């Protein structure tokens, strides 16, 4: 069965390109445009991997991460923080929790991202 | 002096009396003159004092021993001390300067001016501690006062409150930072979409189409690089950049930088020679990402500003008595003599460099200098137009200095 990836990002175009690229690679993509919606999807759909933006309306990425880590049913899902911030705070968050890594969008090609996603998902 | 001797006799005593009276007359005149001159002087003095008092900057003068002689209104206002409190006291009792980042006292630039006989300035980010303990950012200078013989007889200190300017600078930097972040998302999307198109999976891309798309891709990458550079500059300028040295093999860093520029080296058909130290260096404290960025900027310039067909860059690393010295020498177009002084300035690009390479932001050397100097090292160059340029970096044997800060540089790939 295809692995399920949840993209939580408030930028429609970012969503669109990533969805197309990852679908092309054979993944199943679900997406949310804000943190609140994202968190609901995490709980209901149990994705295999989450691509998480930080700055978002309603609930930001940091809060989403905290909540999903508090929940024993979701705290093992690997997360790729996916942002254009590259400050201490984001770095600290990604280091604090297990299974969380951090990528700056602008500095990676789509191929880079696919590679990273595959690496995170494992065999 | 109003006393006059009455003269009756014409003998010697009489003559003496005449002389005495003349003398009284002349003394009287002189006395009048003195009173007049004193009045004039007083007027002039009060005029000078009024001028001094009205100067918008704090002006303080002290004698050779540091005793305060002049303390104008602005000095009172900024320092919080009144002239009565400070006059004749030693300046160091009232003028306390600290470095903003560390809170430590800044080097005594006043004593240095008196001792050296040269004008001195405080470092950037200096704060004055007011009488009430409040700290205000100031900018100041001290100039020795010399008499006609050239001896130093004191020192005049001028400083101003830069709170307002700081606020504007901060807003400017925050604006750049915000704008850069906002620019990055659409740029990223363009770059990704082009990547998708170019792969041909959504329809066949032929000949010219592929060429144009590749051009779009490169231009977008250039913009992302510019935005990253701007962000880095704003991070360096606000002093929030973190310097985190760890024990590192210096040679390896340089080899990695050379490797990362492979594409450019091949494109320019450049010969890059790396002369390693005779004895392998023990690991030293370096912030990997920062030193890479600094060296990378120098190497990139050396390659890019070599004339066609004669690109040869020699990188040399050596351990000296007190530091590590890294030199990057090219045989390129060089820096015009009259432009040498601007080379490390933000956005500056030399005329000949612009002619050779249209691309370039003029930020590379500025960033390198900020990185090296804020971590305790030095950076300089020697150049001859049309012969080549050698840039040098020295890092103390103790390595790069650690600095606590919130941010890291952007655009550093794994």
Chain A within 8 Å of B181 (Cβ-Cβ)? yes
B74-92: pLDDT as tens digits: 999 999 999 899 999 999 8
B201-245: pLDDT as tens digits: 888 988 899 999 999 998 898 888 888 888 888 778 777 778 889
Interchain proximity A87–B408, CB inside 8 Å:
yes
Structure tokens at A123: 């065999």
Q: How confident is the model at residue A63 (pLDDT cuts 50, 70, 90)?
A: confident
* CATH number of the domain that residue A53 is part of: 3.40.50.2300
User: Which residues of chain B lie closer than 8 angstroms to A89, CB-CB?
Assistant: 406
Residues B176 and B231 sit within 8 Å (Cβ to Cβ)? yes
User: Which residue from B185, B187, B227 is facing A11, i.e. has the nearest CB?
Assistant: B185
- Checking if the pLDDT of B50 tops 80, the result is yes
CA atoms within 13 A on the CB side of B44: 6
Structural domain count of chain A: 1
- Angle at which helix A12-24 crosses helix B163-199, to 10 degrees, equals 30
B309-368: pLDDT as tens digits: 789 999 999 999 999 999 999 999 999 999 998 999 888 888 888 888 877 888 899 999
CA neighbor of B318 nearest in space, from B372, B255, B275, B380: B275
Q: How confident is the model at residue B414 (pLDDT cuts 50, 70, 90)?
A: very low
User: Which residue from A17, A104, A106 is facing B193, i.e. has the nearest CB?
Assistant: A17
Tell me which DSSP letter residue A14 carries: H
Q: Is B407 exposed, middle or buried (0-12, 13-18, 19+ CB in 10 A)?
A: buried
Mean pLDDT of B135-147: 87
User: Which residues of chain A lie closer than 8 angstroms to B192, CB-CB?
Assistant: 17-18, 21, 109-110
CA neighbor of B304 nearest in space, from B346, B350, B252: B350
Reported ipTM: the value is 0.85
Q: What is the pTM of this model?
A: 0.62
Residue B116: the pLDDT is 86
* Cα B238 to chain centroid, rounded: 14
Mean pLDDT of A112-122: 90
Residue A93: the pLDDT is 66
Residue B248: the pLDDT is 93
Mean pLDDT of B269-291: 92
Q: Residue A26's domain spans which residues?
A: 4-121
Q: How confident is the model at residue A88 (pLDDT cuts 50, 70, 90)?
A: low
Q: How confident is the model at residue B413 (pLDDT cuts 50, 70, 90)?
A: very low
CA neighbor of B301 nearest in space, from B259, B364, B352: B364
Residue A86: the pLDDT is 57
Cα(B293)–Cα(B290) distance, integer angstroms: 5
Average pLDDT, chain B: 87
Residue B321: the pLDDT is 92
Chain A within 8 Å of B407 (Cβ-Cβ)? yes
Structure tokens at A10: 């408030």
DSSP string of B334-381, one letter each residue: ---GGGGGGTTSTT---HHHHHH-S---S-HHHHHHHHHHHTT-EEEE
Q: Is B130 exposed, middle or buried (0-12, 13-18, 19+ CB in 10 A)?
A: middle
């Amino acid at each position: 069965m295809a692995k399920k990836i949840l993209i939580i990002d408030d930028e429609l175009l970012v969503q669109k390109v990533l969805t197309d690229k990852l679908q092309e690679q054979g993944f199943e993509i679900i997406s949310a445009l804000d943190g609140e919606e994202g968190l609901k999807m995490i709980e209901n759909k149990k994705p295999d991997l989450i691509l998480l933006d930080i700055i978002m309306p309603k609930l930001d990425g940091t809060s989403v991460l905290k909540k999903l880590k508090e929940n024993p049913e979701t705290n093992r899902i690997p997360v790729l923080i996916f942002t254009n911030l590259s400050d201490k705070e984001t770095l600290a968050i990604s280091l604090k929790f297990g299974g969380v890594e951090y990528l700056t969008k602008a500095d990676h090609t789509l191929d880079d991202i696919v590679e990273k996603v595959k690496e995170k998902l494992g065999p | 002096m109003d006393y006059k001797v009455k003269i009756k006799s014409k003998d010697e005593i009489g003559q003496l009396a005449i002389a005495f009276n003349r003398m009284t007359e002349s003394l009287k005149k002189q006395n009048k003159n003195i009173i007049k001159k004193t009045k004039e002087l007083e007027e002039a003095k009060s005029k000078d004092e009024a001028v001094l008092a009205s100067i918008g900057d704090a002006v303080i003068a002290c004698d050779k021993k540091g005793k305060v002689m002049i303390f104008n209104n602005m000095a009172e206002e900024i320092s919080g001390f009144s002239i009565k409190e400070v006059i004749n006291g030693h300046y160091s009792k009232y003028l306390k300067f600290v470095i903003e980042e560390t809170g430590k006292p800044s080097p005594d630039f006043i004593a240095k001016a008196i001792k050296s006989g040269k004008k001195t300035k405080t470092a950037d980010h200096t704060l004055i501690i007011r009488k009430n303990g409040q700290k205000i950012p100031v900018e100041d200078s001290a100039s020795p006062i010399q008499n006609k013989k050239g001896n130093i007889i004191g020192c005049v200190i001028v400083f101003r409150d830069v709170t307002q300017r700081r606020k504007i600078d901060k807003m400017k930097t925050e604006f750049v930072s915000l704008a850069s972040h906002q620019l990055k998302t659409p740029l990223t999307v363009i770059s990704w979409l082009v990547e998708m198109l170019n792969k041909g999976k959504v329809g066949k891309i032929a000949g010219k189409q592929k060429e144009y798309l590749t051009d779009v891709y490169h231009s977008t990458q250039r913009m992302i690089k510019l935005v990253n550079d701007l962000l880095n500059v704003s991070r360096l300028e606000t002093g929030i950049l973190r310097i985190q040295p760890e024990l590192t093999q210096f040679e390896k860093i340089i080899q990695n930088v050379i490797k990362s520029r492979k594409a450019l080296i091949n494109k320019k058909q450049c010969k890059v020679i790396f002369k390693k130290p005779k004895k392998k260096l023990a690991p030293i404290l370096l912030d990997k990402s920062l030193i890479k960025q600094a060296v990378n900027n120098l190497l990139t310039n050396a390659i890019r500003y070599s004339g066609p067909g004669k690109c040869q860059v020699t990188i040399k690393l050596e351990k000296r008595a007190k530091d590590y010295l890294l030199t990057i020498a090219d045989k390129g177009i060089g820096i015009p003599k009259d432009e040498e002084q601007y080379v490390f300035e933000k956005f500056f690009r030399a005329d000949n460099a612009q002619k050779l390479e249209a691309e370039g932001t003029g930020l590379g050397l500025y960033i390198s200098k900020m990185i090296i100097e804020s971590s305790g090292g030095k950076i300089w160059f020697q150049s001859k137009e049309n012969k080549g340029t050698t840039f040098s970096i020295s890092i103390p044997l103790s390595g790069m200095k650690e600095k606590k800060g919130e941010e890291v540089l952007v655009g550093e790939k794994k």
